[in-house]
Amino acid sequence: MTTTLIFYFFAATLIFAAFRVITVRNPVHAALFLVLTFFSSAAIWLLLQAEFLAIALVLVYVGAVMVLFLFVVMMLDINFAPLREGFAKHLPVGLTVGFLILIEMVMVVTHWKGLANPSTVVTTEMSNTKMLGQVLYTVYAYPFEIAAAILLVAMIAAIALTSRLHNRAKYQKPEQQVVVRREDRIRLISMPAEPKD
Amino acid sequence: MLENYLPILFFMIIGIAIGAVMSIIGFLLGTRRPNPEKDSPYECGFEAFEDARMKFDVRYYLVAILFIIFDLEIAFLFPWAVIIKSAGLFEFIAMMIFLSILVIGFIYEWKKGALEWE
Amino acid sequence: MQTLIYVITILLYIVVILVPLMVGVAYLTLAERKIIGYMQVRIGPNRVNLPLPLLNKLRGFGQPIADAFKLMFKEIVLPTHSNRFLFIIAPTISFAPAIAAWAVIPFAEGWVLSDINVGLLYILAMTSMSVYGILIAGWASNSKYALLGTLRSAAQVVSYEIAMGFALVGVLMAAGSLNLSDIVAAQNGSFLHWFWLPLLPLFAIYFISGVAETNRAPFDVAEGESEIVAGFHVEYSGMLFAIFFLAEYANMILIAALASLMFLGGWLSPFQGIPVLEPMFAWVPGIFWLLGKMSIFLFLYLWSRATFPRYRYDQIMRLGWKVFIPITLVWIVVIGVAILVKLPPWFDIVAKG
């Protein structure tokens, strides 16, 4: 009973926040509403007993991805008015895509049988982080390594896109500074005393 | 399990409530004598002549993107760290391959100077 | 009815945690001024007394309370071109996660409000939220100094969060659990079983990253009063400023608590396993050990502020990315190998579950 109430509370918050993301004018407000959306979905995952995934969602999406979003909308200082002008022109395409997604969702939802049978839900006393760990690195080892490859591609792409980094500055290099010895810098030479004339 | 999360929810609500109450106290008790000079943004004696929001070095965005990637990596490491004591060599090697793929990326960004700041 | 009683019990527990925390924050500010004062051969605050028996002998002991009242009556300046709503809620956004993280901290054996299985992950998630307060405050102020401070501090906080996360992975490997009480239990034995010894590099990195995460000296370029006046909160005054201040100090105490729980055995007695001393100090409740260990870290915070000059920004980023991350990665592999070969005395016990 209470769980259902809490679910409806978070679900309503989620839908409201998601709606505001696409309707508010200020992009910073939109990004903050997206944070609220992720937060509410994390709460719903928690209600499904997926505690590791729920908190990982907060950690990765709220703690990292949205920080980048905010960075961009706050600091890039984009003027969003010209972006809105083509709204009517792009409307037919947008509606078509939206309609296709809707049909696909309906098809998936009506044919989904995975969790319909409650006996498939395993309830154990073990924490679900451990359960996740026991399958992720054995049964799903290939997808796991592929994830590493995808992250590598992302890393290289990010650097390639910003590769106009030119360094004009001169640095101190502490790792070179600390290994300098006296002999590298000082040369003692003995000279005969010069007679004064 | 869920009953353990109820105090967390309360904690968050109370945290927000304390912040809100303190802000309200500040507005109620504090004096309020605004004038244009006082309310202008801080600027060493100048008048602010342009909007403060400006474009910044691309490095800051790069740091944010790299942060996301490393954060995901940490999220992948957490379940592994929890089971490693009861797991065997296979899991260990799986993670070593994962880490070495990402270390390649790390070395690449290092060599490319993405970690240099001026 | 039963639900109501349950809810009231939880609320009471929260008060029991928060009131000492807030008092701790208030007196940490006094301790900071006093300790740094003595380190610089000054006396520090010594005028305001508390009109209470015993306490009225301690000069300066009423200073935090006087400061609180002063801040209450200060004007809150709202800058002209600021975004009013975000400007006002930004301090609360940075305060709420700093408070909420305390929900999972165990203070002694069994003294924990919400004993969740993913405690450490939750803490990491909450600390990663602290950057929002900074970002929103800096942007809403619409001031150049605030924006510069915000950028610096946000990039710094996220960089050190990675080093911190990797250090936590090391702790998890050694403990085999994300639950903070289990992590302390895994260090049971003697002070040589505490994780500071097998995880020594991670211990140092965790605490230093903690200092950087909370934007404290010597990593306080975000504030850097000599160059960008006060960083992201330059436009804040009065109570709104006070909330930022409280959040910063609550985060400092949180880092101290976590460092003691994960690396110094939390509430475990330091005399465990030592023949004569262990029974002699057996009567001391666990929470005193924890508070004692936390005080050590808080003192380190203040000591480093009084001692070290401020890092330059490129040095900070270099330290975080080029020194800490490689060290933590290497050490994770080292612990992995140590666990595989079951290196005694830390890794020879097979984890339960």
Task: Out of A69-83, A90-104, B46-60, C67-81, pick the least confident.
Answer: B46-60
Mutation site, C6, C82, C99, interface B, largest B CB count within 10 A: C99
pLDDT at A20 exceeding the cut of 70: yes
What are chain A's partners, defined as 3 or more CB pairs within 8 angstroms? B, C
Summarize pLDDT for A119-131 with one digit per residue, the tens. Answer: 445 555 667 888 8
Q: Do A75 and B60 touch (CB under 8 A)?
A: yes
Q: At what angle do helices C238-263 and C286-307 cross, to 10 degrees?
A: 120
Q: Is the Cβ pair C100, B11 closer than 8 Å?
A: yes
Q: Which two tokens stand for residue C210?
A: 């903690």
Tell me whether residues C117 and A58 touch, CB distance under 8 A: no
Q: What pLDDT score does A123 carry?
A: 58
Please report, as a single letter, which amino acid is at residue A192.
P
Do residues C143 and B41 make contact, with C-beta atoms less than 8 angstroms apart?
yes
CA distances from A26 to A29, A78, C38, C94 (A): 5, 11, 50, 21
Query: Higher model confidence: residue B99 or residue C53?
Result: B99
In percent, the amount of chain C with pLDDT more than 90 equals: 31
3-state secondary structure chain C: CHHHHHHHHHHHHHHHHHHHHHHHHHHHHHHHHHHHHHHCCCCCCCCCCCCCCCHHHCCCCCHHHHHHHHHHCCCCCCCCCCCHHHHHHHHHHHHHHHHHHHHHCCCCCCCCCCCCCCHHHHHHHHHHHHHHHHHHHHHHHCCHHHHHHHHHHHHHHHHHHHHHHHHHHHHHHHHCCCCHHHHHHCCCCCCCCCCCCCCHHHHHHHHHHHHHHCCCCCCHHHCCHHHHCCHHHCCCCHHHHHHHHHHHHHHHHHHHHHHHHHHCCCCCCCCCCCCCHHHHCCCCCHHHHHHHHHHHHHHHHHHHHHHCCCCCHHHHHHHHHHHHHHHHHHHHHHHHHHHHCCCCCCCCCCCCC
Show the DSSP H helices in A122-181 as ranges. Answer: 128-136, 141-161, 174-177
Confidence of residue A160 (pLDDT cuts 50, 70, 90): confident
Task: Indicate yes or no: CB of A165 within 8 angstroms of CB of B83.
Answer: no
pTM of the entire predicted model: 0.88
Residues of chain A with C-beta less than 8 angstroms from the C-beta of B98: 144-145, 147-148
pLDDT band per the 50, 70, 90 thresholds, residue C256: very high
pLDDT, position A164? 66
B5 CB neighbours in chain A (<8 A) are: 46, 51
C50-70 pLDDT tens trace: 877 777 777 888 888 888 888
Question: C76 contacts in B (CB within 8 Å)?
Answer: 26-27, 30, 32
Distance CA B79, CA C235 (A): 43
Mean pLDDT, rounded, for A87-104: 88
> Residue A33 in contact with residue A17, Cβ under 8 Å?
yes
- Which pLDDT band holds residue B52 (cuts at 50, 70, 90)? low
Q: Are C342 and C181 in contact (CB under 8 A)?
A: no
**Mean pLDDT of all residues in chain A?**
83
Residue A149 pLDDT greater than 60, yes or no: yes
Contact of C198 with C339, CB cutoff 8 Å: no
Backbone dihedral region of C44: left (phi > 0), alpha (psi from -120 to 50 degrees) or beta? left
Q: Which residues of A touch C131 (CB under 8 A)?
A: 63, 67
Residue A117: pLDDT over 70: no
Is the pLDDT confidence value at C227 over 70?
A: no
Note whether B78 contacts A137, CB cutoff 8 Å.
no
Which residue, chain included where needed, has tokens 């004569």? C276
Provide the pLDDT for residue C51: 78
- The reported pLDDT for the residue numbered C49 is 81
A158 and B108: CB-CB below 8 Å?
no
In this predicted model, which residue has the larger pLDDT, A24 or C217?
A24
Q: Of the given ranges (A95-99, B54-58, C128-132), which has the lowest mean pLDDT?
A: B54-58
Sign of CA dihedral A66, A67, A69, A73: positive
- Cα separation, C304 vs C297, in Å, equals 11
Q: Categorize the per-residue pLDDT at C350 as very low, low, confident or very high, splitting at 50, 70 and 90.
A: low
Q: What is the structure's pLDDT at C352?
A: 44
A138-to-A115, A131, C53, C70 alpha-carbon distances in Å:
24, 12, 66, 61
Alpha-carbon radius of gyration of chain B: 25
- DSSP SS3 for A98: helix
Compute the half-sphere exposure of residue C294: CA atoms within 13 Å on the CB side of its CA. 24
| Cβ neighbours of A74 in B, within 8 Å | 53
* Structure confidence at residue B115 (pLDDT): 76
pLDDT value at C318 more than 80: yes
Count of CB pairs separated by less than 8 Å, B with C? 218
Structure tokens given for A197? 């004339």
Reply yes or no on whether the pLDDT at C156 is more than 50. yes
pLDDT digits (tens, 9 = 90+) for C264-283: 988 888 888 778 887 888 88
| Spatial contact of B99 and C333, defined as CB atoms under 8 Å apart | yes
pLDDT band for A2, please (50, 70, 90 cuts): confident
CA C227 from chain centre, in angstroms, equals: 26
Confidence check: pLDDT of C208 > 90: yes
Q: What span, in angstroms and rounded, lies between the C-alpha atoms of A47 and C19? A: 30
Residue C351 pLDDT: 47
Amino acid at C44: G
Residue A15 is predicted with a pLDDT of 94
| Residue among C82, C103, C94 nearest C242 (CA) | C94
What's A107-121 look like in SS3?
Answer: HHHHHCCCCCCHHHC
Supply φ then ψ for residue C195, to 5 degrees: -75, -10
Please check whether residue B76 touches A, CB under 8 A: yes
Partner-chain contact B115 C321, CB within 8 Å: yes
Q: CA C23 to CA C55: how far, in whole Å?
A: 15
Check pLDDT > 50 for residue C41: yes
Q: Is the pLDDT of residue A63 over 60?
A: yes
Torsion of CA B85, B86, B87, B88, to 10 degrees: 90
Q: What is the mean pLDDT of residues A117-146?
A: 76
Q: Higher confidence at residue A46 or residue B42?
A: A46
Query: On the CB side of C32, how many CA atoms lie within 13 Å of its CA?
Result: 18
Average pLDDT over residues C93-98: 91
Mean pLDDT, to the nearest integer, of B57-65?
Answer: 82
Distance from CA of B22 to the nearest CA of C (A): 6
Residues 6+ apart with CB under 8 A from B68: A60, A64, A65, A68
Work out the minimum CA distance from B4 to partner chain A, whole angstroms. Answer: 11
Tell me which residue in B1, B30, B34 faces C73 most closely, judged by beta carbons: B30
What pLDDT is recorded for position C250? Answer: 92
Count CB neighbours of C319 within 10 A.
Answer: 21
pLDDT at C206: 94
Tokens 């400006």 locate to B54
Which DSSP category does B4 fall into? G
Cβ–Cβ gap C125/A126 under 8 Å:
no
Q: What is the mean pLDDT of residues B25-29?
A: 87
| Helix C325-340 vs helix C144-175: crossing angle, to nearest 10 | 10
Q: What is the predicted pLDDT for the residue at B77?
A: 92
Res A169: pLDDT: 61
C176/B85 CB distance under 8 A: yes
- DSSP assignment of A170-193 equals ----HHHHTT--HHHH------PP
pLDDT > 80? residue A100: yes
Whether the complex's predicted ipTM is more than 0.85 is answered with: yes
Residues 6+ apart with CB under 8 A from B76: A136, A144, A147, B98
Quick check: C77 and B38 in contact, CB under 8 A?
A: yes
For residue A96, give both structure tokens. Answer: 């078509």
User: How far is A21 from A58, CA to CA, in rounded Å?
Assistant: 18
Per-residue pLDDT, C20 = 92
Taking CB atoms and an 8 Å limit, are C118 and A64 in contact across chains?
Answer: no
The CA-atom distances, in angstroms, between C326 and each of A69, B110, C10, C202 are: 27, 11, 43, 11
Dig out the tokens for B95 from the structure. 């993670």
